[in-house]
A and B are shown apart, each in its own frame.
Chain A
Amino acid sequence: MQGGSKLQVKRTLGKAFSYGLIALAVIVVLLPLYWTFSTSLKGSKAILHIPPELFPRQLTFSNYVDIFEIIPFGALLLNSVVVTGLTTVISLVLGSLAAYGLSRYKFPGSGSIFGLVLGTRMIPPVAYVIPLYLLISNLMLLDTWWGLILAHTSITLPFTIWIMKGFFDELPRDFEEAAMVDGCSRLGALRVALRLALPGLFVALIFVFVESWNEFMFAVTITRSSASKTVLVGLVGLLQYPYRQPWGELTAGLLIYTLPIFFIAYFFEKYIAKIYVLGVLK
């Protein structure tokens, strides 16, 4: 009896300890985010108060309005949406077509082509950003949506091909063959396969969206004016704002921009694990 209760105490203590550690991790993750959020709700005087107010005394939403005035936030948001949207469409369309071709038809060199695509996925963007800048400049696409979209596809297209090929490879061919027996054309068979691979398309969609939405190095290289600048480039530019660093407006803009990411983290947590973790293990 005695030994049993001792073991129980030990177990309870162990449990409390591990929950304590998890709670600590949650706090560490949330602290900088809390600071960002609380700053976005402070007036400019409260932000520059020394010592800093850990809990804002007066709440204001003015930063969420002012961010649209100190930079053309609406225009930048449009740029981000257009660039991410078109990058996503182009990557998914071209990527799944290529994946289908590489998965279903073995033609001379198809293996090495796929190897090349796989290799591209691992190459860091900084290894080709300089020649890519020269190329975009020669194409007269600096400071345009299309210049940045081209750059983004260099990251997102290899991933889409790779993940979609994985999905097509696992798809039994029976359905497509049945469709073709029923008189469908080869492209009809492709349509059947695409419908069956919808979960794969969805995974690719989330990944491509997050990559393009979050991308900064190409954006800061290629975009200049509010004609093409993305939100992140505009917000980083605020650090050079004359006379003060407008942290209230900056944090407000940052939180607006990150809303879709919060949404994805909350609703598609399981997909995230699949994309970033199992993807690597395959």
Chain B
Amino acid sequence: MKKRKNIPSKALGFLLALPALLLLALVCFFPIAQNVELSLHSWHLAVGAPKNFVGLANFEHLISSSVFHKVLQNTVIFTAVSVPLELGGGLGLAILLNRKFKGKEAILAILSLPMLVAPVAVGLVWKWFYALDYGMLNPLLGIFSIGEVNWLGDPSIALFSVIVADAWTMTAFMMLFCYAGLQMIPPERYETASIDGASGWQKLRYVTLPSIKGILIIGLMIRSIDAFTRLFDLIYVLTGGGPAWSTEVLPIYTYRTGLKFFRIGMGSTLAIFALLITIVLISALWKITRR
């Protein structure tokens, strides 16, 4: 567009953006940067200990800490199991819903509901659903003669139970994601396949899946970033990280270290880990989407 006399000055654009930028600088940019400074200190706020410069001691401590290894392991397991589960379920539902039938809008609304309910509310709902003695799940499974299971109290099962609750909410996200992708496929591709005599399965294999491959990868990446760095509310309510560290994942461990035990320096070091992982995953995502 050619410059015209009445196209306003550059200063106005900057002035319009300024209030938002100042606010973001205060509540976001500045705190993120401050993490770096805090991570170089030992600062036990709870006991009123002074802030001591310790260099990279926090990082060294974490690298050799067995609890931190356990936390990373839990986070990787959670991500590696929940994300493919949600992608598979979401893709399956999206394919089933990708046709015309009566009441589809209502079904889409019901199926996407779990994604909109507050994650911490989802945690409360599932805590009560799982509850020993008074919950609904055990008697329900009893119908199929499955014995009592201590869903949230057994260290070998708790992480699995968290994954199921997470899948309950986030499969909806994947479903909407895949559904949007399916709707973008031009119908001509299916017509061509029909003329060539392709069966339903063949269409799925050779038309549908290749057409939405890109979208599937993006969805997978976005959910992986979330699973790795944002799993907080659900665990806070369901297990609090226990029993015996079995559901302690990176976000909740970071939070508890910094704001429950008030080890500010160590907490900030963990936050930097979360930040680095996010940046690595985002730059991978960036590369994929730019292709």
Contacts and interface: CB of A to CB of B under 8 A. Distances in A.
A78 interface: no
Contacts of A124: 225-226, 229-230, 251, 274, 278
A36 B19 contact: no
A116 interface: yes
B27 A262 contact: no
B27 A151 contact: yes
A122 B282 contact: yes
B14 interface: yes
A132 B259 contact: no
Nearest to A108: B10
Contacts of B186: none
A117 B27 CA distance: 13
Contact of A154 (B27, B34, B111, B271): B27
Interface stretch (B58-66, B112-120, B149-157, B190-198): B112-120
A101 B139 contact: no
A85 B66 CA distance: 44
Given A50-B134, A101-B15, A214-B118, A36 B128 contact: yes
A123 B24 CA distance: 13
A254 B121 contact: yes
Given A48-B134, A127-B274, A272-B112, A33 B125 contact: yes
Interface stretch (A62-70, A195-203, A274-282): A274-282
Contacts of B27: 132, 135, 150-151, 153-154
Contacts of B128: 35-36, 39, 247, 250-251
Contacts of A264: 116
B24 A104 contact: no
A9 interface: no
Interface stretch (B76-84, B101-109, B202-210): B101-109
A107 B96 CA distance: 48
Contact of B117 (A113, A157, A261, A273): A261
A128 B28 contact: yes
Question: For the side of the interface on A, what is the size category?
Answer: 35 or more
A264 B107 CA distance: 15
Nearest to A219: B120
A3 interface: no
Contact of A25 (B30, B93, B177, B230): B93
A97 B125 contact: no
Given A32-B125, A32-B129, A52-B134, A261 B118 contact: yes
A140 interface: no
Contact of A130 (B89, B121, B268): B268
Contacts of A108: 10
A94 B24 CA distance: 10
Contact of A135 (B30, B105, B258): B30
Interface in B204-222: 215, 218-219, 222
Interface residues of B, number: 98
Given A97-B19, A266-B109, A213 B134 contact: no
A50 B134 CA distance: 7
A188 to B, nearest CB: 11
Contacts of A266: 109
B233 to A, nearest CB: 5
B16 A101 contact: yes
Interface in A107-149: 107-108, 110, 113, 116-117, 119-120, 122-135
Contact of B118 (A95, A117, A232): A232
A227 to B, nearest CB: 20
- Among B8, B20, B268, the one with the most A-chain Cβ atoms within 10 Å of its Cβ is B20
Contacts of B133: 50, 52
A127 B29 contact: no
Contacts of A36: 125, 128-129
A217 B112 contact: no
Contact of B96 (A18, A131, A273): A18
Given A28-B168, A131-B31, A214-B119, A154 B24 contact: yes
12 contacts: A25-B93, A29-B114, A97-B17, A110-B13, A120-B29, A133-B259, A150-B23, A150-B27, A216-B233, A247-B128, A258-B121, A264-B116
Given A151-B27, A257-B118, 11 more contacts: A25-B89, A31-B129, A98-B18, A127-B278, A130-B31, A131-B268, A135-B26, A150-B23, A158-B24, A265-B116, A276-B176
